[in-house]
Chains A and B, each alone.
Chain A
Amino acid sequence: MRQSLHLSLVFTVNPETGLKAAPMAEWNAYYQNEDEEGEEEEGEHSGRDYKITGRDSLVFLVDASKEMFIKGEDGEPSNFDMTMQVVRTVYTSKIISSDKDLVALVFYGTEESKNPRNSFKHVYVYHDLSEPGAKRVQEVDALRGEKGAKLAAETIGSGETSLGDALWCCANLYSDIKLRLSHKRLMIFTCRDEPHGGDSVKDRQARTKASDLKETGVVIDLMHLMKPGGFDISLFFCDIVSPPEDESELGLQLQPSDKLEDLLKRVRAKELKKRALARLNLCLGEGINVAVGIYATAVAARKPGSIKLYRETNEPVRSKTRTFHTQTGSLLLPSEIKKAQYYGGKEIVMERDEVDAIKKFDDPGLFLIGFKPMEKLKLHHHIRPAVFLYPEEDEVKGSSCLFSALLKKCSERNVFALCRFISRRNYPPRFVALLPQNEELDEGKVQITPPGFNVIYLPFADDFRTLDPPQFPSASQTQVDKMKEIVSKLRFKYRSEGFENPVIQQHFRNLEALALDMMAPEEIEDLIMPKVDQIDQRLGPLVQEFKDLVYPAYYNPESKPAAKRKTADTGGGAEKKPKVELTEDELKAHVQNNTLVKLTVPVLKDACKQFGVRTTGTKKQELIDALIARLRS
């Protein structure tokens, strides 16, 4: 089926050098304006420029002592097994959503040793800091389950523990990286609250190393796992981990994780560095500016763009784009280019900076218009995904307090704040509703929803389409009641994380298969496919009963409705209209009188063909523009 697969040659990019440097940021921005794409999608700018911000990094430091391999009751997976599952999930999710992040996997308390200069005993660097790839996913997979435990025993084994050495080794991993790192995180997975069994020298050494690491900007988290008798953080680890982001939060009271889902949730919550899309002011009135950060918490994940490769060697190629004059062939400077739109028979021309200036109404920021009761926010007033607002105390001192008071009062009084919002430079304004959201924690004290305002974009008059809704009689109460039975039978608890995107999943499974030379990609489960058999079974006779109530016996909703015959005078119905061919003169007259719009798309297409006008588009306006361009010259 995929013969070409075997010829595939995988080209691995050196993370140190990466692909050849992309053009500098500002020029990127400059040339984006050049694109004919028109207005950029706002809110899609969550992708970050690694050249500027540096890369995120994450080290998994996993305890490999015997205790980690003890299986739970009823065949529950061991702590080690669970940890590997988490590592794998993070690897694959990094590949999908942030493939430039660096990840490492290091074991401590091992029998065998493996580290860059082999200077540390009982520390095993399984993966050094690098972008996760297909092979690494496979290697982590190999450590899972029964077989994985066996493999771990053979390759790394369990032995003495020195967390100090392990931390030192991790420090070296960071310092060996030549790339700029923006966020450095280290997660310790263990079920032993006294790793050195009370050896105070080793404890002290570990504390020193931990504080060294923290000093270089590494954030250390503890992902402590279940231990019979309970995990006591105060015995040792309280001095190792980084203090929580905010002092009042006593992060250490977290319960140890005994479920994969919990552990995953805790890792997930920390694994992604949050980054503001923008920092700007929320202006309540003259001189009252609250500094806020805007965050994208839901961004449609897309299949990543392709990279162009040279067929012979599979190496990436660079593209160069030039703008030149068709006749003279000379390169055109930005100043030799203008922008135009065609309206009412006239090319209306603007300077490039005028095109930007037209979009500018004011500087970026949020401006409070007033407040409205929550029920005034209509469900269908939706035009794009929301963003999230959180105060930036570092920009304006006092922001958090006023923000907090505003949040509290809006929430209490069940009102939202209506604001005018300009998200970036040279962007026209939109109105937004700021919806208060209170902080929520789960039983394990893990934050489920953060405190802040959700920013809902509101539509303008132009964003509504005028519909002519068909009118029907309403269903009777008997019919409604029968449907209620059906609805009740198919109740389930919706969770927003419950559905994977089958398109993206399939794409990455395919890549995985190709990268690892697998025979076929792993099957994906399409979670957004209705489970028809289950539904049928649950509903049983209800479906027929409902149909008997609403559909007459002869009616079949699957069949296409009989095509409606038009009245006789339109000429036999089935017969196609004879083709209207335009003469050149007629066409020219249309161009002259600006009446091309009155012709239908098929006629315009024929005209294009007839006069050898090649068009890329199929939209009416594109056809018209092409014809005008041709017949004017």
Chain B
Amino acid sequence: MFSYLSLKAQTCESWLTVVLCMDVGLTMSNSAPGEESSFELAKKVIQKFVQRQVFSETKIELALVLFGTDSTDNPLSQDGQYQNIRVHRHLRIPDCELLIEIENQVQPESKEGDWLDALVVCMDLLHTETKGKKYDCLNIALLTDLNTQTNEESLEVIINNLTQSGITMQFFLPFPVEEDKEGQGDSERRDPGHPGTGKGLSREQKKNMELVKEMMLSLDVEDGLDEIHTFRNAIEELCMFKRVERRPVAWPCQLTIGSSLSIRIVGYKAVTDEKPKKMWITVDAQSHQKDDVKRETVYCLDDDNETEVQKDDIIQGFRYGSDIVPFSKVDQEQMKYKHDGKCFAVLGFTKQSAVIHRHQFMGSQILKIFAARDDEHAGVALSALIRALNELQMVAIVRYAYNRTSNPQVGAAFPCIKQDSECLMYVQLPFMEDLRHFTFPSLENKKFTPSDAQLSAVDSLIDSMMLVEEDENGEQRDLFKPHRIPNPAFQRHFQCLHHRAVSPGTPLPPIEPWLKAALDRPEVITERCQDPLDVLKRKFPLTEVEKKKKLKTSVGSVDPARDFRALIKQKILPFGEVCQQLTHRIEQLLSNKNTQYYMKSITCIQAFREQSLANAEHYNSYLQSLKGSIPNRGLEVFWELLVQGMICLFT
């Protein structure tokens, strides 16, 4: 369900080059009532595909060729040949511009285009635009309903040409491919009830389908027919954004046991808490320019004048309990803990069961340690260690340091033996300083001890909610695999970015339904656990403890504006008194010459103003006096912010 339609991207080491060739002709707009037309589906496919490429920033160049267009614009058109084919975009890195163009400019048109002719235009485009450059992977994706007249004489030449230039093909059609026509043999596997095939296809479509099959089977690929997709399947598979992929970086080192036994190894991050590649940058709201915004930090003494201190006059210090100890960077560098750098040294070995306190794993990653590439001797030596550990059910406790500047760690290296590879898996373990020994009251308490009836209710709940089950063939089926789900945070992030890029000025869309569903309890489980949950609910009374609601009696310092509004609403205290409490807080806040405090004062003044509409006397007089005191108190910066905050006196 969550496989990634790759369009060859995964097998391609360097730049991938793709021509998307889409039929926008007359018949593409046909649709059964209540269904989306082939045009709409095909457009979705290219939209989703391009969107993935833009946001994953894969190494890809893309061109877009439309056929069936009203106009003709391609280098081969001459003497009435290659008509109704338009090169919409030449080979370039896909960008937001292309997304917007697809959204707005790719529209149904009313002519017929020959898909083989369009294919030739695409091949020509690949040929001329990649000339002199090194490209490994050239690919043409053709999206059409095959409902046009075709000049099939050129088929053989085209196939030869494709093979020679190493171009691979993919087809996206409204209907699935049939494998059981005469000449293909193997007719037993046919699913008789499969809709959409054979029946309802026009003569052209049937004929063209044969051409497509002939082409795909003659090209030098393993199973050519697998590269013929339906629009619907493609959309389903493309609906999620590509997972964040990062090239693994090799960490060569030596595993040492004592002074004279070492094994050449290489480590890779295998599992890690992946963060988004890009950060949000701050821009000016008007110009959207990052350079228009500047942040500046100044330092000052904690005296009445807030005397500013130059950066050069600042040194570093650290707390040592109640003391603050000045500690210059030079001294720190000289006195700090130093070590010999990169290492993976065995401290000793211990029983696995003693370390597998899963909850004591530290850090945010798992490293996989292999023997150095192309070093068979290291391979054998490491294999001996891995197998020895595995047979003894033990782990190595190691000192691990990534390099000279990183802090060394202590961790465990577990043996991991799979069918085709062996490795050590390293995970960081805690230092003494990291552990917090909390004690909690025992639950073996008469008050909390569940009765047998209660226990059996929990039992049936577990029974009904087991996510792993055996099917009739005795094979295990896992209904819910979090490690197959793409990180929803990234999916949502890109969905919103795409939306904003294509439709600026509109509110963000809701979370996509497929993503919501992927994060939820599987439907079978929801159904199955309904009765046990009802029983559970009856057996275990749960009552929320009512929190005494504290009635606000004064304007506090945490959120004065909120308290102020609440007090006015309560109408217990006189209006004047509440105002006085608020101004008192504002004055307190203003004694801290700091933008954050200023902003908080401003929210207070805004609340003050909004509650003073009926009676502006207090507000006006306070603001007058505040204004008067600005120069004396050196609050010009605050006043400027206040004025910018669009507050003006009632006049």
Contacts and interface: CB of A to CB of B under 8 A. Distances in A.
A349 B321 contact: no
Nearest to A305: B318
A479 interface: yes
A134 B269 contact: no
B443 A508 contact: no
Nearest to B346: A530
Interface string B304-337: 0010010001111111111111111011101111
Contact of A295 (B276, B414, B435, B438): B438
Contacts of A582: none
B496 A490 contact: no
Contacts of B306: 318
B26 interface: no
Nearest to A362: B519
A501 B337 CA distance: 10
Interface residues of A, number: 251
B432 A34 contact: no
A499 B431 contact: yes
Contact of A371 (B274, B314, B364, B462): B462
A473 interface: yes
Counting chain A CB atoms within 10 Å of each CB, which of B243, B264, B324, B489 scores highest? Answer: B324
B295 A322 contact: yes
B264 to A, nearest CB: 5
A27 B380 contact: no
A47 interface: no
B261 A547 contact: yes
A459 B244 CA distance: 13
B467 A370 contact: yes
A83 B271 CA distance: 45
B525 A274 contact: no
A461 B97 contact: no
Given A465-B272, A487-B388, A557-B254, A308 B533 contact: no
B482 A130 contact: no
B260 A501 contact: no
A500 B299 CA distance: 36
Contacts of A380: 270-271, 366, 416, 425, 427
Contact of B511 (A301, A361, A376): A361
Nearest to A249: B442
A370 B533 CA distance: 12
Given A8-B326, A462-B243, A514-B327, A501 B292 contact: no
B448 A401 contact: yes
Contacts of B416: 379-380
A344 to B, nearest CB: 4
Given A340-B290, A461-B483, A475-B381, A134 B596 contact: no
A301 B433 contact: yes
B466 A536 contact: no
Contact of B497 (A348, A494, A511, A514): A348
B35 interface: no
Given A320-B595, A415-B462, A298 B430 contact: yes
B302 A316 contact: yes
A369 B274 CA distance: 23
A71 to B, nearest CB: 29
A372 interface: yes
Nearest to B431: A501
B537 interface: yes
Interface string A535-550: 1100100011011011
A255 B600 CA distance: 56
A543 B261 contact: yes
Contact of A39 (B275, B372, B519): B275
Contact of B269 (A326, A465, A501): A465
A435 B407 CA distance: 30
B573 interface: no
Contacts of B595: 320-323, 331
A151 B268 CA distance: 57
B441 interface: yes
Counting chain B CB atoms within 10 Å of each CB, which of A269, A465, A549 scores highest? Answer: A465
Contacts of A465: 245-246, 248, 268-272
A338 B554 CA distance: 35
A558 B2 CA distance: 45
Interface string B428-468: 01111111111111111111111000110111011001111
Contact of B385 (A372, A483, A549): A483
Nearest to A295: B438
Given A349-B288, A370-B480, A408-B450, A492 B322 contact: no
A274 to B, nearest CB: 4
A527 B336 CA distance: 16
Nearest to A619: B277
B222 interface: no
Interface in B454-493: 454-455, 457-459, 461-462, 465-468, 478-480, 482-490, 492-493
A346 B504 CA distance: 12
A493 B388 CA distance: 18
A471 interface: yes
Given A408-B450, A410-B462, A450-B440, A317 B309 contact: yes
A393 B443 CA distance: 11
Contacts of A384: 273, 363-364
Contacts of A299: 434, 436
A288 B542 contact: yes
A205 interface: no
Contact of B448 (A135, A400, A452): A400
Contacts of A507: 318, 336-337
Given A314-B317, A372-B467, A372-B468, A475 B384 contact: yes
A297 B350 contact: no
A134 B318 CA distance: 12
Given A358-B508, A380-B271, A319 B455 contact: no
B483 to A, nearest CB: 6
B371 interface: yes
Contacts of A295: 438
A561 interface: yes
Interface stretch (A91-99, A104-112, A173-181, A193-201): A91-99
B318 A304 contact: yes
Interface string B347-372: 11110001111111111111010111
Nearest to B542: A398
B637 interface: yes
A94 B321 CA distance: 8
Contact of B245 (A330, A466, A503): A466
Interface in A323-373: 323-327, 330-350, 354-355, 357-359, 361, 367-373
B349 A473 contact: no
Given A307-B316, A472-B376, A536-B259, A595 B370 contact: no
Interface in B583-618: 592-597, 599-600
Nearest to A103: B321
B397 A494 contact: yes
B55 A343 contact: yes
B465 A521 contact: no
A439 B379 contact: no
Interface string B181-204: 000000000000000000000000
Contact of B521 (A327, A369, A547, A633): A369
Contacts of B238: none
B384 A382 contact: no
A320 B297 contact: yes
Given A451-B442, A462-B244, 7 more contacts: A245-B441, A284-B461, A298-B360, A298-B430, A308-B317, A317-B309, A530-B345
27 contacts: A23-B597, A26-B559, A30-B596, A306-B327, A314-B324, A320-B300, A333-B644, A341-B280, A371-B467, A381-B271, A400-B445, A401-B540, A402-B542, A439-B444, A460-B488, A461-B486, A462-B244, A464-B270, A464-B483, A469-B368, A472-B371, A483-B385, A490-B349, A507-B336, A521-B335, A528-B347, A532-B259
Which 6 A-B residue pairs are closest in the complex by CB-CB distance? A472-B379, A246-B441, A428-B489, A454-B359, A344-B95, A346-B96
